[in-house]
A = this chain, B = another copy of it.
């Protein structure tokens, strides 16, 4: 990254579909995605699927800055899509990657990002099977945007999970750890706050941990990863137009001290701040303690907590018992929080 002559940066011709495009594919993408790419140069990858029910999800990642404590846009793009498949009860199998790159991006930066993607995909047991690269002029995008689309096979007894049709009063709400780490890591880095070093994104692929609880019990009623909009948004969406409510207990919601500090400093409510490795699971009360124990045994669930329950009162509402003993109505984020957090 020290010398940025034309050989070290992305130029428009890297996206022309001609020789330079192919060199970029070979020297950067295939170098890291390697044999895992089923059809790097063909129009489509041909894949085997051993289920007649699949899940499909897509996300574009535009996070700014592209490198932040605990990850980068590439790692995020893998984890986010793996998690979106996992929370509907699917086993993530195949991912596609679409890159939109701004002319001038150092190729070394691209390579760091691509390497993170390959590492994370391997960790999560998913294969990157097809991709696309477009290059736009300086000023027409902000460094790099990545779309990842994923497909997975639906696990047995999981069809109800995405709709939450089995949620009922008495169910317990569990989170696998502290909230708001990702959002505040990105914001701290963006604002050049010195405290940054203490805060790391929680960006992680949750698929193996989720598989454990799904194998343990058929009474997992709902799961959602609490990304944009944070924990509050997940719970609000969950009760919207439903005949039950949510009772949260603020004292049980885990937040890192440094994250809480920066939230206060900058005026953010951690309930609404994005996470990238946090799962909200709603489960039968009879298995709640066991699910909590499974989470706690996993490196990604050490700080898991039961944070509330589903109630027959307060229909369609999320009510939080606050630390000082009062009650606060948690409403849907109406905008005005963080742009480009993922």
* Interface residues of A, Cβ cutoff 8 Å to B: 11-22, 39, 41-62, 64, 83-85, 87-88, 90, 94, 96-100, 129-132, 134-137, 139-142, 145, 147, 149-152, 154, 159, 162-163, 224-225, 227-229, 233, 237, 272, 274, 332-340
Q: A135 — which chain B residues lie within 8 A by C-beta?
A: 339
Contact B163 A42 (CB under 8 A): yes
Q: Chain B residue with minimal CB distance to A94?
A: B56
Pairs across A and B, CB under 8 Å, 8 listed = A16-B336, A44-B55, A44-B88, A46-B162, A98-B149, A100-B145, A136-B339, A140-B340
Closest residue to A88 on the B side, CB-wise?
B44
A106 to B202, CA, bound (A): 35
* A80 CA / B44 CA spacing, docked (Å): 12
Considering the complex, give the chain B residue whose CB is closest to the CB of A131: B58
Q: Contact check, B58 vs A147: say whether CB atoms are below 8 A apart.
A: yes
Across-interface contacts of A274 in B (CB, < 8 A) = 17
Sorted nearest first, the 7 A-B pairs with minimum C-beta distance are A13-B335, A17-B228, A18-B333, A17-B229, A149-B149, A58-B96, A147-B147
- A49: which of B54, B150, B228 is its contact (CB, 8 Å)? B54
Determine the chain B residues whose CB is within 8 A of the CB of A56 once the complex forms.
Answer: 44-45, 47, 94, 96, 129-130, 151
Given A56-B45, A332-B19, do A339 and B50 touch, yes or no (CB 8 Å)? Answer: no
Chain B residues with CB under 8 A of A163: 42
A84-B141 contact in complex given A54-B49, A340-B136, C-beta closer than 8 Å: no
Q: Which B residues touch A55, using CB under 8 A?
A: 44-47
Minimal Cβ-Cβ distance residue in B for A12? B339
A49-B53, A54-B151 known, 11 other contacts, Cβ within 8 Å: A17-B228, A20-B334, A20-B335, A43-B57, A44-B57, A45-B55, A58-B147, A60-B132, A62-B141, A135-B339, A141-B145
